[in-house]
């Protein structure tokens, strides 16, 4: 009944040659619950529709239980789709809606017993005689689920089925979907842009960006070992703090990561992950600190592996069970553009060392459309070699302060409250439009709500370096070290 779904190098091109899905490969095991997660327009629904047979596959192969299935008609695939807008027939009762696909499949058979059994399973017996207009959003979605289940499909394809519901109902139905799909053991592919939904539902989560698969893994591993800065930023609430850092690894001194005015001193003996950062000496990187990696606490209470920095309280968000403290640590946040991409974009490719003028123009056009994976400092800052001395670092700090002041001026208007922390970053230099208002601070830390913190207080921060993420200029994770160590010639 349940089946394996394999996508092998699958691409989709609609018009004008734009690939909205780009060489996607995925193996979904029988009975697995796989979530396709990504920002709006990244191609999630297109992938789902290609699996369902509602959209032609431009390139690549779809295999169902190992059999080539690109050309199968939707009905031959025996899959059931559940949509965001419920898609119920308005002039049919709940019973009529659930029974409709059964009658289409087998006009001779009485759908009644299967409709009743499905309704019992979902606890919606009392909704069977009502029309969709007489049902609430949650009830409509239950009927839509019933319609999908009653057919005993070989796979469920769910396209944001909960996004039209309020938060409380969403949580409730989320739990129901988990229970139901576990009980039925049917392969489920579930599309959402809501990372918390993805994390709570999926056996595995596949993160898409601009039609390109970024990572597929269990929720726990995607959170703990994000492949790149985009995944790190997309997953987790509050969003990971991303700060611009500079690796300093002098031959005769401690290894540090400069964060503008302050630095993180890596504890010795260096862990293997930290040792591997040595090759980044003099390079700009992105430091990722999830809110649980930093705590407000007295320096004397530091545990092994924790280092001290300080932060100026700029804003405290009371959340009831906890408070989110926005702090200014004198560092500059890094930006991951296109987190909420309005349309799919090709990921920025590594800059080729040589290329024709046309290549460069194409690259430039691509970069303007997609934005780089990450935005760091001026290019000349990125290529500092070994032997950088203290004065240079001090100059950098002054420079950073100057930029920071400029940036803060620009930031004031940026996108208030939409993406906490994200929009704290300065706009790209070439960005002529000043960003809108933002919440202040470059670092967000969780704390208990009963600590009395006020704006302007300087507080000690203990950073747990066991939870440190470092990403390179291309946004790839370099600490903890990726499974495949980078080719040093790259």
Ligand X SMILES: Nc1ncnc2c1ncn2[C@@H]1O[C@H](COP(=O)(O)OP(=O)(O)OP(=O)(O)O)[C@@H](O)[C@H]1O
**Which spans of this chain sit near ligand X (rule: CB under 6 A)?**
14-15, 20, 38, 40-46, 193, 343-344
Nearer to ligand X, 344 or 441 (CB): 344
Nearer to ligand X, 38 or 288 (CB): 38
Nearer to ligand X, 54 or 481 (CB): 54
Angle between helices 167-184 and 112-122 (to 10 degrees): 120
Q: Which two tokens stand for residue 169?
A: 């109902």
Residues 155 and 3: their CA atoms lie apart, in Å, by 7
Nearer to ligand X, 343 or 349 (CB): 343
Q: How far is the CB of 41 from ligand X (least distance, A)?
A: 4
Length of the chain measured in residues: 490
Q: How far is the CB of 235 from ligand X (least distance, A)?
A: 16
Q: How far is the CB of 366 from ligand X (least distance, A)?
A: 16
Q: Which two tokens stand for residue 124?
A: 């919606």
Residues 149 and 441: their CA atoms lie apart, in Å, by 48
Nearer to ligand X, 146 or 344 (CB): 344
Residues 15 and 19: their CA atoms lie apart, in Å, by 8
- CB within 8 Å of 180: residues ≥ 6 apart: 121, 122, 145, 149
Q: Which two tokens stand for residue 115?
A: 């409709």
Q: How far is the CB of 364 from ligand X (least distance, A)?
A: 22
Q: Rounded to whole angstroms, what are the CA distances from 258 to 281, 283, 413?
A: 11, 10, 28
| Strands ordered across the beta sheet of 458-464 | 294-296, 458-464, 306-318, 323-328, 443-447
Residues 421 and 240: their CA atoms lie apart, in Å, by 8
Task: Estimate to the nearest angstrom the gap between the alpha carbon of 20 and the chain centroid.
Answer: 18
Q: How far is the CB of 343 from ligand X (least distance, A)?
A: 4
Nearer to ligand X, 79 or 345 (CB): 345
Q: How far is the CB of 20 from ligand X (least distance, A)?
A: 4
Nearer to ligand X, 46 or 195 (CB): 46
Q: Which two tokens stand for residue 365?
A: 């056009």
Q: How far is the CB of 374 from ligand X (least distance, A)?
A: 22
């Amino acid at each position: 009944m349940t089946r394996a779904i394999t996508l092998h190098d699958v691409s989709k091109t609609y018009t004008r040659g734009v690939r909205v899905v780009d060489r996607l490969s995925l193996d979904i095991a029988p009975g697995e619950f796989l979530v396709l997660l990504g920002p709006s327009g990244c191609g999630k629904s297109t992938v789902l529709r290609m699996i369902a047979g509602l959209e032609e596959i431009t390139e690549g192969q779809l295999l169902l239980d190992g059999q080539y299935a690109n050309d199968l008609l939707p009905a031959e695939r025996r899959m059931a789709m559940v949509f965001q807008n419920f898609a119920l027939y308005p002039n049919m009762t709940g019973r009529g809606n659930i029974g409709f696909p059964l009658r289409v499949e087998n006009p001779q058979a009485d759908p009644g017993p299967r409709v009743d059994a499905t309704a019992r399973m979902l606890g919606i017996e009392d909704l069977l005689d009502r029309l969709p207009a007489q049902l609430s959003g949650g009830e409509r979605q239950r009927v839509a689920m019933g319609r999908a289940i009653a057919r005993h499909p070989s796979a469920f394809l769910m396209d944001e089925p909960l996004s039209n519901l309020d938060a409380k109902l969403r949580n409730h139905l989320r739990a129901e979907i988990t229970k139901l799909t576990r009980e039925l053991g049917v392969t489920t592919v579930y599309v959402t842009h809501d990372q918390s939904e993805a994390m709570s539902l999926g056996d595995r989560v596949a993160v898409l960006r601009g039609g390109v698969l970024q990572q597929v893994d269990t929720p726990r591993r995607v959170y703990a070992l994000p492949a790149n800065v985009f995944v790190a930023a997309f997953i987790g609430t509050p969003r990971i703090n991303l700060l611009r850092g500079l690796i300093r690894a002098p031959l005769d001194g401690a290894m540090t990561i400069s964060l503008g005015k302050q630095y993180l001193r890596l504890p010795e003996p260096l862990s293997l992950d930290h040792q591997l950062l040595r090759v980044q000496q003099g390079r700009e990187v992105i430091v990722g600190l999830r809110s649980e990696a930093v705590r407000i606490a007295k320096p004397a209470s530091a545990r092994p592996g924790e280092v001290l920095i300080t932060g100026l309280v700029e804003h405290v968000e009371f959340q009831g069970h906890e408070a989110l403290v926005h702090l200014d640590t004198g560092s500059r946040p890094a930006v991951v553009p296109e987190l909420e991409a309005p349309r799919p974009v090709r990921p920025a490719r590594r800059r080729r060392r040589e290329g024709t003028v046309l290549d460069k123009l194409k690259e430039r056009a691509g970069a303007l459309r997609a934005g780089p994976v990450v935005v760091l400092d001026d290019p000349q800052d990125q290529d500092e070699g070994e032997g950088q001395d203290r004065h240079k670092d001090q100059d950098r700090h002054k420079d950073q302060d100057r930029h920071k002041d400029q940036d803060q001026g620009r930031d004031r208007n940026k996108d208030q409250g939409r993406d906490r922390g994200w929009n704290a970053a300065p706009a790209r230099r070439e960005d002529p439009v000043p960003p809108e208002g933002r919440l202040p601070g470059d670092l967000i830390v969780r704390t208990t709500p009963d600590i009395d913190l006020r704006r302007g207080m300087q507080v000690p921060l203990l950073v747990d370096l066991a939870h440190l993420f470092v990403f390179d200029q291309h946004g790839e994770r370099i600490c903890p070290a990726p499974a495949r160590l980078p080719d040093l010639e790259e």
